[in-house]
Structure formats: structure tokens, C-alpha cells
Structure 1
Amino acid sequence: MRKTILLLLVGLFIFGCERAFFEDEPTDTYVSNFEVFWSEFDRNYSFFELKNIDWDSLYDVYRPLAELAVNDDQFFQVLARLSLELKDGHVNVVSPYGVSTYDFANGEKPVGAENVKSHLFSVKQVGGSIEYAELIRQNVGYIHIKTFGGDIGDYEKIDDILEALKKEDGIIIDVRSNGGGSTTKSQTVASRFADKERLYLKVKYKNGPGHSDFTDWDERTVSPEGPFQYKKPVVVLTDKKTYSASEEFVLAMRLFPQVTIVGDTTGGGSGNPILRELPNGWTFRLSSWIAADPDNNTYEGIGLFPDVVVLNKSQNPLDDTDYALLEAMKVFDNQ
């Protein structure tokens, strides 16, 4: 009965692609805002069954807390705690009192940029998204892709970068701490290394009120593009902060015969978030699809495993050695 009533409540609203617009804005109370929040997730969130989450039980826990909230900060804490129950880095609540964010990396600190740069010379920047250089100790190029957000022009310059590094014996592509961005941009880079058209990703969208209501699988392929294909050895560096669109990049790259993935397991964030707005003006995101590799293996909350595992940790807290980078260098020694 509760779910039926809440679905009727959601039916009063009309939502656009990026934010919600209300025909008849409900009374702006903590309870009414909670009902909209819970109902939006109930209808549109994609991972309830995959993660075995009992959303009705969480309603019973958190709605009374919304009723007890006496100020905005307390109400924000209710929504934040509820959102964190999903253990999803694509889910957050944005308010004047803070932003709820799930730490999918479990507090792991990324390798410092200066530690990497001590191995490089002639570092060049491409916009705010990419930098490239040569290794000091080896005839190997290095490309650091900081994000797959930003200007598409940065990623279209991958051809110029590969041309500049063509004399090297191979390339290391570092996507550690890359939190994602656009699938189009990650695919643009990956296409320069493709040997042929390959299926690398499947997605199915949430498309109905039931927790099991999805479209059929939509298949995504990556094909050779650009003036030439890079066929020399490539190592892709990953860690637990490699997330979202950068994981899609890894999904594509690991299919190519000249590529080796080195580092830690990726973050496991595949949700394709959509944005919604509460009656009180606060916004929130929720995951709207399920993604899988070509063999239908989902990686949400699990991540993608590297070919060569390097946890990049040391017993000595003062040891800032970049062990993953050193392991990547060994790959070229064995070529």
C-alpha cells in the first residue's frame, strides 16, 4: 500500500533529463521532501536487486528520522545517511549544509603527482585534462589522463600526443585517480589503440516502477579511429580511484592485444547518474543503468581486476615509492 501511494505521489511530478520540474509543488516539509527523495530512488535507482538492498526496510528506518528533524542540517543528515546505505559513488545529496559522498576507495590516498614526475622529463600539458612526457630511465612515453570531463578538444589531441611519442618503444597511460566523466571522451582515446571493432560494454537502463524493470542490453563497441593506430606495447595504470568513465576506458583497453593493465582493482562505479531536485531546492543524483562487460559480468561495487596486481602500499608509512609505475616499467623490459 505504501509503495502504491508513493508511486501516485511521484506521478504528480514531471521530470526532465537533468533536473526535476514540478507541476504542483508539494508542501515543503521535511516529510514531503523525504517522500519525494525515497520515491525517486524507488522508481529510478538501478542497483536495488544487484546489491540486494531492501529499500522498503530503509524507509521504515529513515522516515521517522525525517519526522523528528527540527532543522535543515538534521534533515540533510537523514538524507545523507540514507544515501550512504547504497554504497554508490554516483549517489549524493547536495545542500547548503554539505554534500554526501560515498568513499568508494575506502580512504585510500592516491599516489602523489610529484612522485610520478620524478620519473619524467619534458612534461607537456594538454588543457586541464591530459599531460604527457617521457620516462627518464627508459625509452617509454607517459600519458596522464586526469579526468574524462572537460573540453572534448583535449581528447581529440590524442593523435598529436601519440605522434609526439611515436619514437618511444611504448607508452604508459595513467588513469589512477581519474574519477570519470564522459563515455564519448574515454572512447575517443581508446579508439586510437583499437585493432578492430570490439564489443566492450553493455548497459541496460531502468525504465519502469519495478526494481527489475529494465530495457534490453544496449551494446557499445569501440573501433579504430584517427590517422593511425598505436600498436606498440601499452600499459594502463589503475587504482581504486579509477572510476566511472575511466573504468569504461579500461574495459575497452584491456581487449587490445598490445595492452597490459597494471595496478590495483578499479573503484567499481558503473551507474550513469541522473540529477533530480527536491521541492526545497536541494539536488541529488542516482544511478540509472546497469553496466557489464561483454560476458555480462557486472562490476558495480566490485571493480575491474588488473593483469598485474600492485597495491602500491608499503609497510613503511614514509615510503612514497610508486611501485605500480616501477612494475609498469618492467613490462617494457620484457618486450
Structure 2
Amino acid sequence: MIKRSTNLSSYIVVLLIAVCSYSCTKETGAVPDPKPVNFSEVFDQFWNSMNTRYVFWKEDTTDWDAMRIKYKPIFDQLDLYKAADLRKSVNYFREMTAGLTDAHYYITFTHPLLKDSTVYPPLDKKRSSPYYHNPFNYSQLVTGKLDAGYMVGTDNVTDPTRRVTGIFGTFNNNVLYFSCNNFYLYDAFTSAKANPLKPVLQYFFAQLELSPSPYKGIIIDLRGNGGGDISDLNFLMGRFITSPMAFGSTRYKTGAGRLDYTPWLSSNVTPVANSKGVTIPVIALADNFSASLAESVTMAIRQTPNGYFIGEPTWGANGPYAFNEQLYNAGPFELEGFMKVQTSSAAFRDINGNFLEGEGIMPDLFVPFDRASLQAGQDHALRLAIERLK
């Protein structure tokens, strides 16, 4: 029933770094502090920015005041113009932030001598998790099992700095399947530039609108998806519903005070115009590298009438993230000429009030990662999803 694309593109796996590179909204640029001229100023700007812009101090167990007492004298003794001291500072920043809850947290250094250095506490924590494994590219395995006529499309023309790949097809001609490696679907779909992803989305959406549906269920595969533009939440999940649907709640900073917060506010998916909704079961597949907006979509799927989640615990980067000081009192900041800090702009909890930042979403059906089986062509999570929809 599905036309085969004449221009198949290879599906690109999301690498480790993509988990932090894809944000939950578009970046608009934050105003940096004055350029620090010594390490004392570097430390003060960093500590103060974290003190005012970090959104998880109510939940985080890190004693930020103790960090100032311990590390301020150390930084005062460092020389900003000595390579050895610059390298030492990276380790100090790593020590200071090691226990942070924020799973979006990531430091890149813009200083010329430190551009090869990063600080990434969430990854360090993940490596000690019993669920941790290196990324796996499921695309070749999945396409080998789809019915003939599946479609694959990659958009690397709307924004040449990123590759957005979608796969659409069926299993047994009665189960719909869709996957994407990150969330910039709306940009691809509305782009004035022709791209191979647009027809994939058009055909998938057309199948969703069939009434009555000839399908037994839908699988949305978010494994390895590191997130992306928040507009994709309504753009995709808004086709599954006919009225606003809550999937959690969000809390924002109201000022510079460490605990200046709004109340928890309902987070909703809004249906797209003329949505017919979906009444057949929907299953999310997600893994250890499903992060940020991919986790929001997973939670939204679980809130649909017949939603279900199969796979592994997700990354745990639930807080929305945006570079926009005009809209948020929290989030990313920059020390001019020295570093950029990525951190969540708001806090999020699930529909049941569970705070999952840094922990991830536990699946309804846990399927442990088994690389040997996958390399042998056996995708147990996918198999169980198909069996559930028979």
C-alpha cells in the first residue's frame, strides 16, 4: 500500500554528542557577561550564573555554596594566561558539576587552548548506569523487516548543518511504523526547499487520517533520537488527538533568586487543525539515547488512550532548553572568550508528578539492550511491539 521512494537516503544514527546538541527549542542567542580578564572573574561569572540561571536547585543535591567556599580560592590562584592552569580549570569545572541533576548540562570551551575540552556530567553518570551501552544504529535492521515499499528521506537542505531522517513503512501490511533521528520535522515539512523527508511525512500523515483506520496500531521509533525543536511536539502528536492533552507539567524561574519559581503549570499537546485523532494503539520505542523532545513525545504517546512504551529507560533530559534570556530567567549562558554552558531553561515532571530529570522514563515493558542479538538481526523490542499489535 506504500509507494517506494525513488531516492532512498541512509539513516544516520544519533551519536553520543547529539544527545546534548539537540535542544528542546530553537536557539536565539543569549547576551554574554563582560569578558573575564582573570580566573577570579571566570569563577565569579560561572558561579553566579549557575546560582541564578540553574533551574533544579530545589531538587539538586549539589551544595552550590560549598562549591564557592572550596573552589573560589583555587581559581584565585590560577593564571588565565598559562596553558597548564587552563587545563587544570577544566578538571575543576568537571568536579564542581559532577553531581548536577540536569541531563542537558554540557560545557564547551571557546578559549583557543581549550576548544578540544568538554565537560559533560550526564554522560559520565550514564556510563556508570546498569542500562548504559554505546549507541546502536537500528535503521538497517528495521528496514530489512519492513514491508516492500517503505520510504526513507533525509532533509539536509533546509538547514545544511543538520541531517533529519525519517523512515515510514508497515509491518504485515497492518502496522504503521515511523522513526526519526531528531525533531526538526516541522521545518522540513514547511520548508520552501524540496527535500526527500517531506514526502515521507506527507504519506505517513495521510495514513494517520484514514477513517476508519485499516491498521491495527502504530509504532513510533524514537531510539537514538536526541530531541530537537519543541514545535514538533504539536506538529507530530497533535495529529493523534482531537482535544488538548496534558502529558506533564513545567516550572519556570521568575527571577534571579535561587528558588524563585512559578507553580507547576500544565504542559499540553494541542491538536493540529482538523485533526481526526487516532484511536488505534500507539507504541513508543525508546532507548538510553532517547532524550529531550524524544522523551516528551514518549510521555505524550503514553497519554493517548492506547499508548504504551517499550524499550529502555530514556536519557532523562526532560527540562525544556532554549537560548533566550527575554523569555526565560534561566538556562544557557556564556563567559565571553572562555566557555558556553548549556543547561535547561525550565523544569519538567510527568503527568503523575514524578520528577525524572537525570533518571529517565521507565518503560512499560523493559527490554534490555542486547547487542549480540541485534547484530544477529534480532530486534526484540521491535518484535514485541509488533506482537502486541497483532
Query: What is the match of residue 99 of structure 2?
Result: 85
Amino acid at match of 1:93: I
**Distance in 1 between the 2:375 and 2:167 partners?**
27
**Distance in 2 between the 1:168 and 1:146 partners?**
24
Give 2:116's match in structure 1, choosing from 67, 82, 97: 97
Give 1:18's match in structure 2, choosing from 7, 29, 40: 29
Give 2:136's match in structure 1, choosing from 93, 111, 121: 111
- Deviation at residue 63 of structure 1 after TM alignment: 2.9
Unaligned 5+ segments in structure 2 are 1-26, 110-114, 156-162, 192-197, 322-330
Amino acid at match of 2:135: P
Unaligned 5+ segments in structure 1 are 1-15
The answer on whether the counterparts of 1:132 and 1:141 sit within 8 Å (CA) in structure 2 is no
- Deviation at residue 84 of structure 1 after TM alignment: 3.1
SS of the counterpart of 1:20? Answer: coil
Distance of aligned partners of 1:231 and 1:316 in 2 relative to their CA distance in 1, 3 Å threshold: closer
User: Larger RCO: Structure 1 or Structure 2 (Cα < 8 Å, ≥ 6 residues apart)?
Assistant: 2
SS of the counterpart of 1:295? Answer: coil
Give 1:57's match in structure 2, choosing from 58, 66, 78: 66
Corresponding position: 1:248 with 2:296: yes
SS of the counterpart of 1:76? Answer: helix
The answer on whether the counterparts of 1:34 and 1:79 sit within 8 Å (CA) in structure 2 is no
- Deviation at residue 310 of structure 1 after TM alignment: 1.2
**Distance in 1 between the 2:335 and 2:182 partners?**
29
Query: What is the match of residue 75 of structure 2?
Result: 66
* 1:279-307 deviation per Cα after TM superposition (whole angstroms, max 9, x unaligned): 43421122232112233222112222222
When the two chains are superposed, the root-mean-square deviation of aligned CA atoms in Å is: 2.8
Amino acid at match of 1:89: A
Query: What is the match of residue 237 of structure 1?
Result: 285
Distance of aligned partners of 1:172 and 1:318 in 2 relative to their CA distance in 1, 3 Å threshold: closer
Amino acid at match of 1:20: V
Distance of aligned partners of 1:150 and 1:253 in 2 relative to their CA distance in 1, 3 Å threshold: closer
Query: What is the match of residue 183 of structure 1?
Result: 230
**Distance in 2 between the 1:42 and 1:266 partners?**
28
The answer on whether the counterparts of 2:52 and 2:256 sit within 8 Å (CA) in structure 1 is yes
Query: What is the match of residue 143 of structure 1?
Result: 178
SS of the counterpart of 2:152? Answer: strand
**Distance in 2 between the 1:315 and 1:275 partners?**
39
The answer on whether the counterparts of 2:291 and 2:315 sit within 8 Å (CA) in structure 1 is yes
Quick check: 309-318 or 42-51, which moved more?
309-318
TM-score (norm 2): 0.72
Give 2:189's match in structure 1, choosing from 154, 164, 169: 154
Q: Percent identity?
A: 23
- Deviation at residue 100 of structure 1 after TM alignment: 1.9
The answer on whether the counterparts of 2:248 and 2:352 sit within 8 Å (CA) in structure 1 is no
Query: What is the match of residue 206 of structure 2?
Result: 163
The answer on whether the counterparts of 1:159 and 1:226 sit within 8 Å (CA) in structure 2 is no
- Deviation at residue 97 of structure 1 after TM alignment: 3.1
- Deviation at residue 328 of structure 1 after TM alignment: 0.7
* 1:167-188 deviation per Cα after TM superposition (whole angstroms, max 9, x unaligned): 5432211011111112221221
Query: What is the match of residue 167 of structure 2?
Result: 132
Corresponding position: 1:293 with 2:359: no
The answer on whether the counterparts of 2:310 and 2:381 sit within 8 Å (CA) in structure 1 is yes
- Deviation at residue 264 of structure 1 after TM alignment: 1.3
The answer on whether the counterparts of 1:206 and 1:289 sit within 8 Å (CA) in structure 2 is yes
Give 1:200's match in structure 2, choosing from 247, 257, 261: 247
Query: What is the match of residue 9 of structure 1?
Result: none
**Distance in 1 between the 2:165 and 2:273 partners?**
18
**Distance in 2 between the 1:159 and 1:150 partners?**
11
- Deviation at residue 87 of structure 1 after TM alignment: 4.5
Distance of aligned partners of 1:155 and 1:176 in 2 relative to their CA distance in 1, 3 Å threshold: farther
**Distance in 2 between the 1:288 and 1:183 partners?**
13
SS of the counterpart of 1:305? Answer: coil
Distance of aligned partners of 1:239 and 1:26 in 2 relative to their CA distance in 1, 3 Å threshold: closer
